[in-house]
Amino acid sequence: MTCLNRPTSLFHRSDHSLLVPPSAITSGFSQILHQSSSRSSAIRSIPQMSSPVPSSTVSTVTISYPELKDPTADISDQIERGFGPNGLGILSISEVPGYTLLRRNLLHLAPRLASLPEEVKQEIEDPHSRYNIGWSHGKEKLESGKLDMLKGSFYANPIHDVPTNELSLVKRYPSYCGPNIWPRAALPELEHAFKALGKLILEVGLLLAYHCDRYVSNGFKMHEDGSLQQVLLRSRCHKGRLLYYFPAHQCTSTDDRESMSSWCGWHTDHGSLTGLTCGMFTRDGMELPCPDSAAGLYVKTRSGQIVKVIYGEDEIAYQIGETTEILSRGQLCATPHCVQAPKGEAASGVERSTFALFMQPDWDEKLIFPELINIHEFITPNGSISFGDYTEKVLDKYYDLNA
């Protein structure tokens, strides 16, 4: 992927706010979020990519939580190595208090959710949002154009059950503005576990955004109301996605089974910052190590090399999305990535669960494009577009308009 190397765009809102230091976020996070009033988890697939045999496995750049929450800490080197023009577009945060338990509590619920009776899962589907709220299975297109049958998802906004009461907005941006749908009768513990983990990943992500802004400001003076942290603080659009990967042997296509992107097609997140848990592998409800060392998360480097990326199960990984690439004028770069399923006899019946929090701008946040630029497969016209409209264009491409 080629990073932008010239000024391209900024966000614009009428309010003017300064960076909020990490100490203010950790002490007043709940109050800040309550004062703000969903979407989308949708990830952008990119055109079919070649899948050469990876030549290496790379560990993420890791930042400790004590470092992250210190507003005076200089972690610009780690930010650059993880997110900069020569980085992988991903880094991880270690030693986050309470994270390990919250991760386990939620991920163990994914197989239970996927195994609910079909009639129960249909009750928590939302066709109006193109299945970007509630349960979704077999609705999203893979890079090949075929429907993704190996991955089930549950989408919800972990901060706002009802992002807005304006019916016109719900109609215009249904995947962001529609209310959450919880399986409160069939799986009542899901709501609490989902919200608890989502809020923690958001809180840590806001601390990371503060340091990203400090790193970017070293290269140019960014408009103060266009900082990544402020964009995320005022957003009502954060969306969590609990993912369940069905055992790969259930795939009917040999080509799909053997593909490097067999469990999740090549794509680049289109939002700002994605918080991601390490995947949990299970068989018949029992947790087990990954049965295939080649399985897992892969990224495409700036030079075009395919590498496997690993990080600890007690660490939260964060990936840069395309919106942040735009906001930072290419100083923070998004990276194409995919997930490969385990192969071999030992992988029979093995399933994978994980959780992603898509941290992204509000639906009415304006993206200003002063020039014609090509962000992966989308060419954005000169002028501005709201993030909500931008997302709808993404959904138009990767979901059936009549689904």
Residue 90 backbone phi and psi in degrees, to 5: -150, 140
Strongest mean pLDDT among 105-119, 215-229, 318-332, 362-376: 105-119
Instruction: Please answer whether residues 206 and 230 qualify as being in contact, where contact means their C-beta atoms are separated by less than 8 angstroms.
Output: no
The contacts of residue 142 (CB under 8 Å, 6+ apart) are 45, 148, 256, 261, 265
Q: Rounded mean pLDDT of 325-336?
A: 84
Angle between helices 189-217 and 99-107 (to 10 degrees): 130
Determine, yes or no, domain membership for 50: no
Confidence tier at 153 by pLDDT (50, 70, 90): very high
Determine, yes or no, domain membership for 403: no
Determine, yes or no, domain membership for 191: yes
Strongest mean pLDDT among 6-10, 149-153, 159-163, 221-225: 159-163
Q: What is the DSSP string of 180-247?
A: P---TTT-THHHHHHHHHHHHHHHHHHHHHHHHHHHHHTTS---GGG-HHHHHHT-S--EEEEEEE--
Question: What CATH number does residue 87 fall under?
Answer: 2.60.120.330
> Residue 340 pairs with which residues in a beta bridge?
296
Q: How many domains does the chain have?
A: 1
DSSP 250: G
Query: Environment class of residue 119 by beta-carbon count within 10 Å: exposed (0-12), middle (13-18) or buried (19+)?
Result: exposed
Condensed to tens digits (0 to 9), the pLDDT of residues 46-101 reads 333 444 444 589 999 999 999 999 999 999 999 999 999 999 999 999 999 999 99
Residue of 183, 36, 51 whose CA lies nearest to 112: 183
Determine, yes or no, domain membership for 30: no
Q: How far is CA 68 from the centre of its chain?
A: 20
Total-model pTM: 0.83
Determine, yes or no, domain membership for 154: yes
> Which range of residues forms the domain containing residue 194?
57-398
At residue 322, the pLDDT reads 84
Determine, yes or no, domain membership for 35: no
Instruction: Please answer whether residues 153 and 244 qualify as being in contact, where contact means their C-beta atoms are separated by less than 8 angstroms.
Output: yes
Determine, yes or no, domain membership for 44: no
